[in-house]
Amino acid sequence: MKNHKTIVLSNQEVSPGYFRMRILAPDYTRLARPGQFVMFRVQRALLPLLRRPFGIFRAGFMPADCDTMPPKEFIEIIYKVVGSGTEIMQGLHYGDPVELLGPLGSGFDLNLTSGDSILVGGGIGLVPLYMLAESIAEPSRAEVLIGGRCRDDIITVTEFERLGVRTFVSTEDGSLGDRGLVTKVLEQRMEQKPQAKVFACGPMPMIRAVEKICRDKGVHLQVSMEELMACGVGACLGCVVKGEGHTTEKPSYLCTCTVGPVFNASDLAW
Ligand code: FES
């Protein structure tokens, strides 16, 4: 984990209300694992100073500008504009100073991706699944189920397709892909691939539904939890979730930022 004072390389709206920001991030292609996140802070006077957590969408290199300039190493985050912090973020441009603390947290267990895998992403929850899909040795055995309320929530489909993974899109209002919840698609795909391991990230109602489906079928599930995080390093305890076996007499709490954000579903209390 490092704290980088760095700059924004680009910041573009990719769907109404969704932005994709590329940030100069030395060492991240070597250090970042699928499922990890960064704490991001805008460095500008008179702006809110709180760090905010963002899953890493991908890490890569931009080509060198000329013979003397080395390639630029970057990460990308994707965010939805939902409040004052993300409203400030959408106004950032090339060269604006920002701070990155990371990479943080645990990642997905790549040993589980041999064989069939089903990745389930709801809305912005799709973000940490891209690096996971990139890391799968046999992409043709992986499927990505992408769900949202409407077509605006469906992002980066072609990039997943370019990896060679099969994609299924669903929206609650039927404006893109199948009409209905992504969990309905999951049930259908699990009938075709009963041995598949499942990896999921998205809003809590979706995660709870995915957990129930997988538990009922005895399928291994890893979830990336989207808890609110203030510090990102285990200091504030603002991100705890209940561990498996939690009771009032014998409480069990796990920090999402240090033990997670990726957990085996069986390690959590539902
Ligand atoms: Fe502070 Fe996890 S965000 S302990």
**DSSP per position, 109-145:** -GGGGSS-EEEEEEGGGGTTHHHHHHH-S-GGGEEEE
Mutate to test the pocket of ligand 1, among 239, 253, 254, 259 (most ligand atoms within 8 A of CB): 239
Question: Length of the chain, please?
Answer: 270
The Cα-based distances of 146 to 121, 152, 187 in angstroms read 5, 12, 14
Instruction: Report the separation in Å between the CA atom of 72 and the middle of ligand 1, taken as the mean of its atom positions.
Output: 31
Ligand 1 atom index nearest CA of 227: 3
**Nearest of 79, 66, 106, 84 to residue 23 by alpha carbon:** 79
H helix or E strand, kind and range, residue 86: helix 84-90
Instruction: Report the separation in Å between the CA atom of 240 and the middle of ligand 1, taken as the mean of its atom positions.
Output: 7
Distance, in Å, from the CA atom of 254 to the CA atom of 7, rounded to the nearest integer, reads 33
Ligand 1 site, residue 255, Cβ cutoff 6 A: yes
What is the pLDDT, as a whole number, of residue 245?
Answer: 85
Check pLDDT > 70 for residue 111. Answer: yes
Ligand 1 site, residue 227, Cβ cutoff 6 A: no
What is the pLDDT, as a whole number, of residue 226?
Answer: 82
Instruction: Report the separation in Å between the CA atom of 179 and the middle of ligand 1, taken as the mean of its atom positions.
Output: 37
Distance, in Å, from the CA atom of 69 to the CA atom of 67, rounded to the nearest integer, reads 6
Ligand 1 atom index nearest CA of 230: 3
The residue ranges of every structural domain in the chain are 2-104, 110-225, 227-270
Instruction: Report the separation in Å between the CA atom of 204 and the middle of ligand 1, taken as the mean of its atom positions.
Output: 18
Instruction: Report the separation in Å between the CA atom of 61 and the middle of ligand 1, taken as the mean of its atom positions.
Output: 30
Instruction: Report the separation in Å between the CA atom of 256 and the middle of ligand 1, taken as the mean of its atom positions.
Output: 7
138-179: per-residue pLDDT in tens? 999 999 999 999 999 999 999 999 999 999 999 999 999 999
What is the pLDDT, as a whole number, of residue 68?
Answer: 66
Distance, in Å, from the CA atom of 221 to the CA atom of 209, rounded to the nearest integer, reads 12
Distance, in Å, from the CA atom of 56 to the CA atom of 169, rounded to the nearest integer, reads 22
What is the band of 48 on the pLDDT scale with cuts at 50, 70, 90?
Answer: low
Query: What is the topology classification, in CATH, of domain 227-270?
Result: Dihydroorotate dehydrogenase B (pyrk subunit); domain 3 (2.10.240)
What is the band of 47 on the pLDDT scale with cuts at 50, 70, 90?
Answer: low
Give the single-character DSSP code of 66: S
Helix/strand/coil percent split, the chain, to 5: 25, 35, 40
What is the pLDDT, as a whole number, of residue 247?
Answer: 86
- The CATH number of the structural domain formed by 110-225 is 3.40.50.80
Ligand 1 site, residue 237, Cβ cutoff 6 A: yes
2-104: what CATH class?
A: mainly beta
What is the pLDDT, as a whole number, of residue 93?
Answer: 94
User: Sign (positive/negative) of CA torsion 97, 99, 102, 103?
Assistant: negative
**Nearest of 196, 258, 259, 250 to residue 231 by alpha carbon:** 258
What is the band of 80 on the pLDDT scale with cuts at 50, 70, 90?
Answer: very high
Ligand 1 site, residue 104, Cβ cutoff 6 A: no
